[in-house]
Each structure stands twice: as structure tokens, then as C-alpha cells.
Amino acid sequence: MKEKVEGSEKVIGPLRRLLKGRAGAYEIFYSVDTGFGVEAKDARVDSLKLRSNEGVGLRTISGGRQGFGFSSVLTEDALEDLVKKTIGGSAEAAKDEFLSFPGPAEKAASEEALRLYDGSFEKTPEEEKIKTALDIEKSARAFDARVKRVRKASYSESVHFSRIVNSNGVDTSHRATFYSGSVTAVAEKDNESEMGWEIGMGHDRNSVEPGKIGRGAAENAVRLLGARKLKTIKCPAVIENTVACEFLESLAGSFLGDNVIKGKSMLIGKAGKKVASAKLNIFDDGILPGGWASSSFDGEGAGRGRTALLEAGVCRAFLYDTYWAARAKTRSTGNSARSNFKSYPGIGISNLYIEKGEKDAKELLKDVSKGLFITEVLGVHTINPVSGDFSLGASGFWVEGGGAEYPVRGMAISGNLLDLFSKVDGCASDIRFIGSIGAPSLLINEIEASGT
């Protein structure tokens, strides 16, 4: 980390000097990202991508007016031009009494304790990275003779470093590696085809297990062959953890403080009120060890932490950065987010998850005498982000006697997202994260599925 900080000083040092006496307050965000990606097809490399970007973003506040600019050219002349344009741009902006930058915060967790960096990143030969993608494809094909095609067998890795410095004394840095591998398998039988997808991801190279990813995708495809159609029915259902993640992601925006203030949240006026099942607890945890979005500090240098959003179904809190916290007359929760130096910071989730229960998923299924095990939904992006209303395609299994009897498809499930979460009768222990969203499988006491 030391050499990264020293390298960033070649940009931040000159900017500090150039800004002295010229802006009431400032924030410098420096970042560098390097990545590698490969996709395999028919046991050969189909595509190979290398990427690298480095640059600096600058925000200034002068007379209650904010300026923003960025540059990927980091010469002295380019930095001087960046300062001039950013400060000049602020003169045209409207005054805003809520503008400010955070001050220094105490670390809630060290970068080392968060387990975000794999030191083997720069030591692994390119051939080994390529082999990972090839092995993912090979594993998917080898699982079952009914797997006829494999799509997008891919592997990617990247390393990120950023440093934030502001005029209030904040000076913090963040380093993390990211690894992911995924594949889609297509199984065919008797003129019928089904697709299955799987992914592995994490901050260390061992998070990507080619055999597990390939087998998982193939199994997800094969298990749905021979699916039947059901008549319209109301019944209990278990929603698989990956599907629960999709539903939670659709609810995520409603926890953002700016959406609440702007009237774009399902949870407006619900603070302190019961909005979901008492079995449901939802947290946003920016310092979750190994979490995809974990870091000691957020996108503007404020300290991260763990925020209870729903406790026993009661809406307890929303997420804020410094600006929107001031608007709401509260404190930042450490949820400022920004993707790189070109982006303006805004409120975002960190690691958002539903707390797991004690039963495993198979035990949860035993609580369903007759019902559904939903393993896939289509069209989650169409869920109304303000009302929560949805109508989605779904597939999975018919459950009887505590176990999956046969696959089913061609269903449509409709309803309201908060109503769905209000019907949660149990949470399994199989919590799984897809990126920064995590959930266990959920038992829903009643769901309506429209069939034939």
C-alpha cells in the first residue's frame, strides 16, 4: 500500500498546492484500476481484454457553490487546467447551504481485517488466468451429456486503488482485488432446451472455482428439463437464495435517503413502522469481512459501518452520504459511492443483505406440504421502484411431501414487493451474495402463480 500512496502523492501533492487559497474547500479523489478478462468458447479463447485507467476527480466548494471536474492527464499543466475549470464552473452553480465535505473519521476496521486484497494478483501468469476460463467451460460440458452448448464461459480479475484527500483533513486510501468467473450452460432433450447460470466471485483468487462454477451452471440447466405447466394456484413457496437476492436488489433503492426525500421510495413515511414480516432483518454492512463492497471509508472519506435497515420487519433507518444527511437533518451512514474518478459521488448501498436463519434450505422445503420452489424469475428489472408492483415469469419445482417432485415452468407471479416480504415465514441458513447483495432462501406463506 505504501508505494501506491507514494505514487498518488505525485498527483495529490501538486493539486494541494494549486488549490491553496483558491477554493473555500476541496476534495481530491485519485484512483487507478487495472483489469484482465477472458472468455472461452469451444475450448479456445474467444476474447481477451486488458484495461487500465488512472485519473483524478476534483470537487470544490466556494461561497456555497460546488464545482466538479476530472482528468486522466496528470501533468502539471493538466492539473492547473483542472483546478481553473473546476473553480470556474462552481461560479455558475446555484448556492446550496447543505454542501460540505466530511472530516476525519476513526477507522471501524482495517483494510487487512476486511480481507480485500490478494497479494498474488500481479504474480499469476496470464496462461493460468486463461486456463481458468477454459476449465469453467470444460466443467460445464463434462457434467452431463444433455449439456449441448456453453455460452459466455468467462473469467475476470481487477485491482483497484483509490485515495481521498480533502481540506478538512481527510486522507484515506483503499485497495482491493476482485475476481469473478461465470458461465451459462444449455441443456437439451426431446426438442426442449433449458439454460442454467452460475457465478463465483470474491476478493481472492480461490473464490473462483472452475469446477464448481461449471457444474453448477450445468446442473441448473439439466434439473429443469422435462418441466411441466401448472394451473393457476395459491400456495406456499420457497424462493431460492439467488432469486431472493434479485428481489432484495429491487428494494435496495428504497433505502437510499435521497430517494426518500425525492419521493422515489416504497418506504416514504414508513420510518419506525412495520413494513415486512417479523422474521425479516435487513442490514447494510460496509465493513463486512470479505464483502464485495467493503472498505474502511466510503466514496467521500467518511467512516463506514453497519446499519440496521429493517429489524423484525420494522423500518429502522435509511442510508445517507454527507450531503443528503444534512438535507435530512441526520448523520451520514458512510454510504457515499463512486465508481471511479470520472463519477460524481452519490448515495449507494455497500453490502446489503437479509440476515440468515437457522434451518438449511432442505429443512425449509419440509415446511411446505404442497407448493413451489422458485429457482428463477424473469423481468425483475420491471418491478416498479416506487410502488413495488410486479408481474414476473417464473420457473422452479413443484414441492410435495417436503421435497421437490418435478420441474415446472410457464408461470407468472404477480403482487407487490413489500407484500411479498410481509409473507416471509422463514429464512434459511444458506445466505449467498451475488456481488454486494446477499440473501438466504425464503419461505413465503402464500404466493399466487398464474399458469394454464
Give the integer Cα–Cα distance in Å for 382 and 392: 8
Instruction: Go through 365-374 and write b for each residue having 16 or more CB atoms within 10 A of its CB, e for each that does not.
Output: bebbeebbbb
The C-alpha cell of 267 is what? 418506504
Map grid coordinates 442490514 to a residue: 283
pLDDT, tens digit, 9 for 90 and up, residues 429-438: 999 999 999 9
With bands split at pLDDT 50, 70 and 90, how would you rate the model's confidence at 2?
low
| DSSP notation for 102-126 | ------SS-HHHHT---TTGGGS-H
Mean pLDDT of 198-224: 97
| 231 contacts: CB under 8 Å, gap ≥ 6 | 451, 452
DSSP structure class, residue 218: H
| 390 contacts: CB under 8 Å, gap ≥ 6 | 250, 379, 380, 382, 383, 384, 413, 414, 415, 416, 417
| Cross-strand bridge partners of residue 337 | 346
| 385 contacts: CB under 8 Å, gap ≥ 6 | 250, 253, 254, 264, 266
With bands split at pLDDT 50, 70 and 90, how would you rate the model's confidence at 164?
very high
Label the pairing between strands 352-354 and 437-439.
parallel
pLDDT, tens digit, 9 for 90 and up, residues 347-371: 999 999 999 999 999 999 998 989 9
DSSP structure class, residue 95: P
With bands split at pLDDT 50, 70 and 90, how would you rate the model's confidence at 6?
confident
Q: Which helix (H) or strand (E) holds 262?
A: helix 257-262
Domain spans of the chain, in order of start = 2-220, 227-452
Indicate whether 27 pLDDT > 80. Answer: yes
pLDDT of residue 1: 56
| pTM for this predicted structure | 0.95
Indicate whether 65 pLDDT > 70. Answer: yes
Residues 85/89/91/95 CA torsion (nearest 10 deg): -140
pLDDT, tens digit, 9 for 90 and up, residues 365-400: 998 989 999 999 999 999 999 999 999 999 999 999
pLDDT, tens digit, 9 for 90 and up, residues 331-342: 999 999 998 899
Q: How many CB atoms lie within 10 A of CB 186?
A: 18
| DSSP notation for 62-85 | ETTEEEEEEES--SHHHHHHHHHH
With bands split at pLDDT 50, 70 and 90, how would you rate the model's confidence at 402?
confident
pLDDT of residue 7: 84
Q: Which CATH superfamily is domain 2-220 in?
A: PmbA/TldD superfamily (3.30.2290.10)
Give the integer Cα–Cα distance in Å for 391 and 415: 7
Give the integer Cα–Cα distance in Å for 192 and 147: 12
Indicate whether 198 pLDDT > 80. Answer: yes
Q: Which helix (H) or strand (E) holds 185?
A: strand 171-189
From the centroid of its chain, how far is CA 213? 19
Give the integer Cα–Cα distance in Å for 30 and 162: 5
Q: Which among 393, 388, 345, 394 is positioned nearest to 371, based on CA atoms?
A: 394
Mean pLDDT of the chain: 95
Give the integer Cα–Cα distance in Å for 370 and 402: 8
Mean pLDDT of 121-147: 95
